[in-house]
Structure 1
Amino acid sequence: MLGLPDGHVTGVPGLSRAAQLKALGNGVVPQQAAAGLRLLLDRLDASLAA
């Protein structure tokens, strides 16, 4: 869900796991919000079509 290429954070030499997580921060939030919005809109479309 991050939308980042493989190794974007994990491929940095010498970066600890804690530092990787800190670097990512809340980066996943926009993708999760978009997925949730798509799900809700699909459900709305289905209820209007019924």
Structure 2
Amino acid sequence: MGLPDGHVTGVPGLGRPAQLHALGNGVVPQQAAYALRLLLDRTGPLLPSG
């Protein structure tokens, strides 16, 4: 997810549901960037160079 190991899972006393809640949508930007890279690799640049 782009976070250091144990960022949420290393918190003592924080159960799995609380860990997931703490993370929230934090992974969305990384997933979106990865998806855009995949799409651009397949389709090429969006704008003509020039």
TM-score (norm 2): 0.83
Give the distance between the partners of 1:19 and 1:29, measured in 2 at CA. 18
Give the distance between the partners of 1:6 and 1:34, measured in 2 at CA. 21
Identity %: 82
> Hey, which of these two has a bigger chunk of helix by percent?
1
Q: Which residue of structure 1 lines up, in the alignment, with residue 23 of structure 2?
A: 24
Higher relative contact order (CA 8 A, sep 6+): 1
Length, aligned pairs only: 44
Give the distance between the partners of 2:37 and 2:15, measured in 1 at CA. 35
Q: Which residue of structure 2 lines up, in the alignment, with residue 11 of structure 1?
A: 10
Query: Aligned AA for 2:4?
Result: P
TM-score (norm 1): 0.83
Gaps of 5+ in 1: 46-50
Give the distance between the partners of 1:42 and 1:10, measured in 2 at CA. 34
Give the distance between the partners of 1:40 and 1:17, measured in 2 at CA. 33
Gaps of 5+ in 2: 45-50
